[in-house]
A and B are shown apart, each in its own frame.
Chain A
Amino acid sequence: NAGVTQNPKFQVLKTGQSMTLQCAQDMNHNSMYWYRQDPGMGLRLIYYSASEGTTDKGEVPNGYNVSRLNKREFSLRLESAAPSQTSVYFCASSRQGSVYGYTFGSGTRLTVV
C-alpha cells in the first residue's frame, strides 16, 4: 500500500523542453490534484480531477495540461517548460468530496534552466 507515488523525484529541463510528471494512487480515491510549491510559499493548486473522466483548472493552470488516465493515474504535462515553472510539484488524492482526507505524494523537484 504505497499511497501516492510520484515520478520522477528530480528533473532538470532546458527552457522549451516538454515533460510529463506521473502520479498514481492505490487508495481507490476518486479525486486527484496537482499542486506546485515555490520556495518559501504555500502550495498552489494547478489542476484537479474530481472524478475519473473530469478535470478542472485550479489557481495557476497556465502552462500546464493534465490527463486523468484512469482512476489511479493523473499526469501533469509541461509542453514548453519555462524557468518560472521551476518548483516542487505535489500530487494528492482524496475520496470525492473529502477535504480532510488528502494524501500527498513526496513531490517532484523540477528545475528549468
Chain B
Amino acid sequence: DAKTTQPTSMDCAEGRAANLPCNHSTISGNEYVYWYRQIHSQGPQYIIHGLKNNETNEMASLIITEDRKSSTLILPHATLRDTAVYYCIVNTDKLIFGTGTRLQVFP
C-alpha cells in the first residue's frame, strides 16, 4: 500500500536543475517526507527530509506544498553522478520503499 506516487523516469541535462515530484495525498499530520536515492545497485543513501517547511542541505532542497499533499526534490545543478533511482517515502517509523523515479542525467 504505497503512500507515494512518483513518475517512473525523468531526464535532466547536466548542470541544470532536476525537479523530482512526489504525490502523497494521504499523508498524516505527523508523517515526514523522506528522500533517499540508490546509485546503481548500491545501498540507498539518505538525501533530505521535511515535515511542512521547505528544507535545504548540501545535497538538495525539498519543497513541500502548503497542504502537504505533494513535494518536490530539487537537485540545483545535476551532475552525471546524480544518475540514480530516487525514492520519496512517507512514514513514521520504518522505511517502506516504492518503485521510485529513475533519474538519468545526460551530458
Contact = CB atoms under 8 A, between A and B. Distances in A.
A90 B43 CA distance: 7
Contacts of B67: none
Contacts of A103: 46
B81 interface: no
Nearest to B35: A100
B94 A107 contact: no
Interface residues of A, number: 24
A90 B45 CA distance: 12
Given A42-B98, A42-B99, A97 B93 contact: yes
Contacts of A2: none
A105 interface: yes
A48 B94 contact: yes
A30 interface: no
Contact of B94 (A33, A42, A106): A33
Interface string B77-101: 0000000010101011111111110
Contacts of A99: 32, 34, 49, 89, 91-95
Nearest to A3: B43
